[in-house]
Amino acid sequence: MKRSRIMAGIKGLVFLVVLTFQWTHVTGDTEVSCIFMESCMLPCSYGGRDVVIHWIQVSTGDITVHSFYHNQDQLERQNQHFRGRTSLFNDQISTGNASLQLTKVEVQDEGKYKCYISTIDGNKESFINLKIDAQIQKVNIQQVGNIITCSSEGIYPKPELTWSTSPPSNITSKDITVQPTEQLLYNISSSLIVSDSETDLDYSCTISTRRNRKKATLFKPDPANDSPQSPNSNQLRATRGGIIGGLFVIAALAVLAVSAAVLCWSKKKDVSSALHTNQESTNTSDTKQAASFEQLLLSSNNYS
Ligand SMILES: *[C@@H]1O[C@H](CO)[C@@H](O)[C@H](O)[C@H]1NC(C)=O
Ligand SMILES: *[C@@H]1O[C@H](CO)[C@@H](O)[C@H](O)[C@H]1NC(C)=O
Ligand SMILES: *[C@@H]1O[C@H](CO)[C@@H](O)[C@H](O)[C@H]1NC(C)=O
* Domain end (from 110, 133, 156): 133
The number of distinct structural domains making up the chain is 2
**How confident is the model at residue 80, as a pLDDT?**
97
Over 60: is that where the pLDDT of 6 sits?
Answer: no
**How confident is the model at residue 291, as a pLDDT?**
36
**How confident is the model at residue 26, as a pLDDT?**
54
**How confident is the model at residue 224, as a pLDDT?**
62
258 lies in some domain: no
DSSP 44-90: -B--SSS-EEEEEESTTTSEEEEEEETTEE--TT--GGGTTTEEE-G
Mean pLDDT (whole number) for 216-221:
89
Q: Is 179 in the pocket of ligand 3 (CB under 6 A)?
A: yes
The Å distance, Cα 160 to ligand 2 centre, comes to: 24
**How confident is the model at residue 48, as a pLDDT?**
86
* Residue 111: domain span: 24-133
Shared-domain flag, residues 64 and 116: yes
Determine which residue's CA is closest to atom 3 belonging to ligand 1.
Answer: 89
Q: Which ligand has the nearest atom to the CA of 140?
A: 3
* Domain end (from 176, 201, 221): 221
* Domain end (from 221, 238, 256): 221
**How confident is the model at residue 200, as a pLDDT?**
86
Shared-domain flag, residues 114 and 144: no
18 lies in some domain: no
Shared-domain flag, residues 92 and 160: no
Mean pLDDT (whole number) for 259-269:
49
Indicate which CATH number applies to the domain containing 41. Answer: 2.60.40.10
pLDDT per residue as tens digits for the range 58-74 = 999 999 999 999 999 99
pLDDT per residue as tens digits for the range 42-53 = 999 999 889 999
CA distances in angstroms from 302 to 196, 272, 274, 288, listed in the order given = 62, 11, 16, 21
pLDDT per residue as tens digits for the range 95-116 = 999 999 999 999 999 999 999 9
pLDDT interval class at 23 (50, 70, 90)? very low
**How confident is the model at residue 259, as a pLDDT?**
57
Shared-domain flag, residues 154 and 65: no
Shared-domain flag, residues 178 and 193: yes
Q: Which ligand has the nearest atom to the CA of 87?
A: 1
Shared-domain flag, residues 73 and 120: yes
Shared-domain flag, residues 123 and 198: no
Over 50: is that where the pLDDT of 264 sits?
Answer: no
Shared-domain flag, residues 40 and 104: yes
Shared-domain flag, residues 159 and 112: no
Point out the ligand 1 atom lying closest to the alpha carbon of residue 89: 2
